[in-house]
Amino acid sequence: MGVFATTDDLETTGHEQVVFCQDKQTGLKAIIGIYSTALGPALGGTRFYPYASEEAALADVLDLSRGMAYKNALAGLDLGGGKAVIWGDPEQVKSEALLRAYGRFVQSLGGRYYTACDVGTYVPDMDVIARETRYVTGRSVEHGGAGDSSVLTAWGVFQGMRAAVELTWGVPTLNGRRVGVAGLGKVGRHLLGHLLDDGAEVVAADVNPRALEWARATHPQVTLVEDAAALVATDIDVYAPCALGGSLNDDTVAALRAKVVAGSANNQLAHPGVEKLLADRGILYAPDYVVNAGGVIQVADEIEGFDFERAKLRATRIYDTTREILRLAEADGVPPGVAADRLAERRMAEIGRLRTIHLR
Ligand code: NAD
């Protein structure tokens, strides 16, 4: 599959625009994917990654940009979905010139696409890109940016978890529940704090001994297990995957003792059939892209001029959105992921259609 063959694929994926950007001097090879601008400019981060091939880079950007459209729609943002990938090893090729060359391509889209951080790109990189384009967010606090997005990601996960717990046990609180947190990284640590404040008993896992040391030192009441595989088999009420994607597979679902799954990791289901496995076992799954939208809400707020309290209020609404999705899923007899997609598509269609009302 090359650039031209892709045209056929775009017909099936429905993307609006895919832009290939090259700057030979700096070695920049980037692809910007815009899935939809029905709700506003497309927002999504830039992934800097040494893909095995152009095809792999393209497949990823198509997939990720579509995901952002759905995430931004359900987060209630006036933003469409896009994403970009820079093909290469950031350790080897990332430079000021390369990032600024990339920034010029982002600028050339005239605001159809806003970029932000993703795997392999960090807040200081956004400050460099911003020297060439105004269509960048997730900048440093010194530059009026939102800073670390894991703060509101964790807050949003907590809100989504409350909604799922309410549907399962009748009350929107984690008080007295046993919650298993897999991954004590940036998000997991903030989430741990919210859970303990709410009166939950927490069992946590991380493969990094430093993360476990941090938990021992700061929250001695937390029970620690060595990895996520051990955690799923533990007697817990709620499972919060906050490490890598794909952690819910045929084996982990079969072993899982929790009744609710709500966590920050992207793409938690190893394959689409896992959602049915969860439903068959009576486990309520709060869709990952719904509950982990706090981070994008945080960086999107920066476009208006960052205000933490306003952004936090928006992330708090993840509780309402999750509740609506889970109820819709129940009423329609479909898995929560399907209900979430339907709601996102409905908002994109209903609000997107308004642009057909002509304004002078
Ligand atoms: P992070 O890298 O800071 O933390 C991940 C943690 O998971 C690390 O401490 C790592 O040691 C641990 N881990 C890895 N494999 C594990 C395993 N098998 N068992 C247990 N622990 C394991 O990442 P983060 O920013 O906290 O993000 C966590 C997840 O949430 C990622 O999937 C990320 O894509 C997603 N997410 C993050 C944000 C954000 O704002 N940071 C927003 C949306 C989604």
Q: Quote the pLDDT of residue 93.
A: 96
Residue nearest to atom 9 of ligand 1 (CA): 185
Residue showing tokens 């793409």: 267
For the CA of 228, the nearest atom of ligand 1: 19
Residue showing tokens 């549907």: 167
For 184, the token pair is: 């004590």
Q: Quote the pLDDT of residue 228.
A: 85
Q: Is 29 flagged in the annotation as binding?
A: no
Q: Is 188 flagged in the annotation as binding?
A: yes
Radius of gyration of the chain (CA): 20
Q: Where in the chain is the domain with CATH 3.40.50.720?
A: 150-339
Q: Is 222 left (phi over 0), alpha (psi -120 to 50) or beta?
A: beta
Residue nearest to atom 12 of ligand 1 (CA): 183
- Pairing of β 42-43 and β 113-114: parallel
Residue 322: φ, ψ to 5°: -65, -40
Q: What is the CATH number of domain 150-339?
A: 3.40.50.720
Q: Which of 242, 289, 296 gets mutated to test ligand 1 (max ligand atoms within 8 A of its CB)?
A: 242
Q: Is 232 flagged in the annotation as binding?
A: no
Model confidence pTM above 0.85:
yes
Residue 204's DSSP bridge partners are 181, 224
Q: What is the CATH number of domain 7-69+77-137?
A: 3.40.50.10860
Query: Would you write out the chain's pLDDT as a tens digit for each of its 360 residues?
Result: 555 445 556 667 889 999 999 999 999 999 999 999 999 999 999 999 999 999 999 999 999 999 999 999 999 999 999 999 999 999 999 999 999 999 999 999 999 999 999 989 999 999 999 999 999 999 999 999 988 899 999 999 999 999 999 999 999 999 999 999 999 999 999 999 999 999 999 999 999 999 999 999 999 999 999 888 899 999 999 999 999 889 999 999 999 999 999 999 999 999 999 999 999 999 999 999 999 999 999 999 999 999 999 999 999 999 999 999 999 999 999 999 999 999 999 999 999 999 899 998
Ligand 1 mean position to 102 CA, how many Å?
27
Q: Quote the pLDDT of residue 9.
A: 64
Q: Which of 244, 266, 267 gets mutated to test ligand 1 (max ligand atoms within 8 A of its CB)?
A: 244
Ligand 1 mean position to 120 CA, how many Å?
14
Neighbours of 149 (CB within 10 A): 25
Q: Quote the pLDDT of residue 147.
A: 84
Residue nearest to atom 43 of ligand 1 (CA): 292
Q: Quote the pLDDT of residue 12.
A: 77
For the CA of 293, the nearest atom of ligand 1: 43
Q: Is 170 flagged in the annotation as binding?
A: no
Judge whether 191 and 242 are in contact, CB under 8 Å: yes
Q: Which of 83, 151, 155, 187 gets mutated to test ligand 1 (max ligand atoms within 8 A of its CB)?
A: 187
- 83 part of the active site: yes
Q: Where in the chain is the domain with CATH 3.40.50.10860?
A: 7-69+77-137
Q: Quote the pLDDT of residue 2.
A: 58
Q: Quote the pLDDT of residue 4.
A: 41
Q: Quote the pLDDT of residue 282.
A: 96
Q: Which residues are near ligand 1 (CB < 6 Å)?
A: 149-150, 153, 182-188, 205-208, 211, 227-228, 242-245, 264-266, 292, 295
Q: Quote the pLDDT of residue 265.
A: 95
Ligand 1 mean position to 8 CA, how many Å?
35
Ligand 1 mean position to 241 CA, how many Å?
8
Q: Is 312 flagged in the annotation as binding?
A: no
Task: State the DSSP H helix or E strand holding residue 7, giving kind and residue range, or none if neither.
Answer: helix 3-13
Neighbours of 127 (CB within 10 A): 17
Given 83, 94, 276, 312, the catalytic residue: 83
Distance from C-alpha of 274 to C-alpha of 248, rounded to nearest angstrom: 7
Q: Quote the pLDDT of residue 13.
A: 80
Angle, helix 3-13 to helix 54-74, in steps of 10 degrees = 30
Using CA atoms, how far residue 295 sits from 72, 125, 181, 201, 255, in Å, is: 11, 17, 18, 25, 30
Ligand 1 mean position to 106 CA, how many Å?
28
